[in-house]
Structure 1
Amino acid sequence: AGVAHEINNPVTFIYGNLTPASQYIEGLLYLLTLYQQHYPQPAAEIQAEREAIDIDFLVEDLPKILSSMKMGANRIREIVLSLRNFSRLDEAEIKPVDIHEGLDNTLLILQSRFKGKPGQPEIQLIKEYGPLPKVECYAGQINQVFMNILSNAIDALEEAKGERRRARGENSSSLPIPSCPLPWIRIRTEVGKISSSGLPSGNQDWVTIRIADNGPGMPQTVKERLFDPFFTTKPVGQGTGLGLSISYQIVVEKHGGRLWCESAPGQGTEFFIEIPIFGHRA
């Protein structure tokens, strides 16, 4: 939150000055147009400089540059706001929280990882948000759970693409993979707990957040150790094995909820997060 505040101050200064700067430049460009209308045959030196800087292109492109700068500054402001909302470090007590706002802030931070790259299609995001009441929880901690699970889902989808390439003996990342299903992540929210049949139980005192992907899935041996501290299937240096273990502590111990996973090889993975609506004091 402190870092976000330090970033936000200079960005606000830049963003606030872009509008008057655009107005000043618009006035100067209009003045330039008047000069061209009233003095169509300038001195040779002016004409040479006009051609050197390509004045017609400059007049057309400068407003576009300013507009893109304003969009970029606004984007930074949105990310900073999401970081502040995501961390919520100033909220040490349990209080009513909008779960959908926490999910959306997390997705905004991860937005760049959903975008396509050469040889890798964009990850499709499917949001199936049901009507939820505000939930009494530690907002920053629950957002961290969303971040850990969504990051793992993206990692799994990216790794699946790499494994398919290695299996086909392809080294170039620019080559498309034929017959490869488009990757997706689905987030579904609903009131109620999940019964043994996999359907909502009708218990109105709980909310369930389900995060699924169509990645490679995992065998039972991996699933059994998924929440063990320091357990990871990622290469050395690419994972600590603590993300899901910490998530389990947050959901189960801090909030009195449930966190589990359903997965099988070739069948994708789905995480279930259940939290009591009216809070739990650990």
Structure 2
Amino acid sequence: MVEVYRGLLDTSNPIGWIERQERVRQAEAGIDFDYLEKEIPSAVEQTLEGIDRVSTIVRAMKTFSHQGHKEQAPADLNEAVTATVTVTRHQVSDVADLVLELADLPPVRCNIADLNQVFLNLIVNAADAIEETGRRGVITVATALDGEEVVARISDTGGGIPEDVLPKIFDPFFTTKDVGRGSGQGLPLARGVVQEGHGGTLTVESVPGEGTTFSARIPAGGLAEKEADVAAPSPAAVG
């Protein structure tokens, strides 16, 4: 079209205005100009959105798979939580909506790779709990600052945990999942990472029929140096 327009502006071959208009109409009709004018901007916008999504996932995978170290180091807990949500969103999206509620947090001295695994385990467990209800639900991942501690909460709208089961959920090898779906090691390892590995606590609140909330509390300053030397588990995977 630009070539046609430039050709019509060529003064070395003067033509009348009516003929100019006809040539423009023919050229636009030949390429279905109205359709392209509408669709090309939309296609470019969708392409840019796709590139942005891919970039977000790649950044999240890079953050999530960050190699852990025995020693703890200051890290952005919100970035870790966001990365884990991004990594799990596709797996969870069939059964639940994921909601992020992030507060302003200071850098947290921790082993971020281990905590990523804890968050992953809790989000997947939440999705499993919702899936068992047969209805679509919501998983809310929130962070907060409470004095010298940071708190990460993973809540679901699943069926809740029965009162007789609640005291056992952190017991090694205890699971309510079908054979092949759960090993009963995820929650004990998660608690070990939070408590022994970071000097924090991992607690649960559940209302049968309404849902469950796991809360991981971690000292923002990390373990005392002498405690860090004997800090526990650094699991390659929690599940």
* TM over 0.5, shorter chain: yes
Counterpart Cα distance in 2 of 1:278 and 1:218 = 33
Residue 143 of structure 2 is aligned to residue 189 of structure 1: yes
Q: Could you tell me which of 190, 194, 213 is aligned with 1:247? A: 190
Residue in structure 2 matching 1:70, options 43, 48, 51: 48
Any idea what SS the aligned residue of 1:184 has? strand
Give deviations 1:16-36, integer Å, cap 9, x for gaps.
xxxxxxxxxxxxx54467679
8 Å contact 2:68–2:113 — kept in the other structure?
A: no
| AA matched with 1:205 | E
What residue in structure 2 maps to residue 8 of structure 1?
none
- Structure holding more strand per residue: 2
- Residue 100, structure 1, aligned to residue 78, structure 2: yes
Runs of 4+ with >4 A deviation = 32-38, 40-43, 53-56
Cα pair 2:169 2:187 within 8 Å, conserved: yes
Stretch deviating more after TM superposition (89-98 or 247-256)? 89-98
Matched, 1:86 2:64: yes
* C-alpha distance in structure 1 between counterparts of 2:153 and 2:209, whole Å: 19
Give the total of aligned pairs. 213
The alpha-carbon distance between structure 1 residues 37 and 223, as it changes in their structure 2 partners (threshold 3 A), is farther
In structure 2, C-alpha distance between the alignment counterparts of 1:58 and 1:226, rounded to whole Å: 59
- Which amino acid letter does the alignment assign opposite residue 250 of structure 1? V
1:224 aligns with 2:167: yes
- Tell me: CA distance 1:31–1:112, structure 2 relative to 1, closer, same or farther (3 Å): farther
The CA deviation at 1:38 is: 6.6
Task: Please list, as runs of the form range in 1=range in 2, the aligned pairs for 1:13-92 lying within 5 A after superposition.
Answer: 30-31=2-3, 39-40=23-24, 50=30, 56-58=34-36, 60-89=38-67
- Give the % identical residues: 35
Pairwise CA distance, 1:92: 5.0
**Other structure's SS at 2:165 match:** helix
Q: 2: distance between equivalents of 1:243 and 1:32?
A: 67
Would the alpha carbon gap of residues 126 and 96 (structure 1) be closer, same or farther in structure 2, given more than 3 Å must change?
closer
Q: 1:154 to 1:186 in 2, by over 3 A?
A: same
Point out the structure with the larger helix share. Answer: 1
CA 1:54 to 1:263, structure 2 compared with 1: closer, same or farther past 3 Å? same
Q: 1:32 to 1:102 in 2, by over 3 A?
A: farther
Partner of residue 158, structure 1: 131
Instruction: Give 3-state SS (helix, strand or coil) of 1:160's partner.
Output: coil
Q: d(CA) in 1 for partners of 2:205 and 2:185? A: 19
Deviation of residue 87 (structure 1)?
Answer: 2.1
Does the residue aligned with 2:99 lie in a helix, a strand or coil?
strand
| Shift of residue 205, structure 1, vs aligned partner | 3.1
The 8 Å contact of residues 85 and 98 in structure 2, kept in 1 or not, is answered as: no
1:144 paired residue number: 117
CA RMSD of aligned residues (A): 3.2
1:135 Cα deviation (Å)?
A: 1.3
Deviation at 1:82, TM superposition (A): 1.0
Within 2, Cα distance between the matches of 1:245 and 1:84? 26
Structure 1 pair 93/251, CA: closer, same or farther in 2 (3 Å)?
Answer: same
- Give the TM-score normalised by the residue count of structure 2: 0.73
Runs of at least 5 residues in structure 1 that lack an aligned partner in the other structure:
1-28, 163-181, 193-203
Structure 1 SS opposite 2:214:
strand
2:108 counterpart residue number:
135
Give the alignment partner of residue 209 of structure 2, picking from 251, 254, 266: 266
Counterpart of 1:61, as a letter, is E
Aligned partner letter, 1:211: I
Secondary structure in 2 matching 1:237 = coil
Give the aligned residue type for 1:243: G
Encode CA deviations 1:230-261: one digit per residue, 9 max, x unaligned.
43322333333332232122112211221121
SS class of match (1:39): helix
Name structure 2 gaps, 5 residues minimum: 8-19, 232-239
Report the 3-state secondary structure (helix = DSSP H, G, I; strand = E; otherwise coil) of the residue aligned with 1:234: coil
Query: Which of these two proteins has the greater Rg computed from alpha carbons?
Result: 2
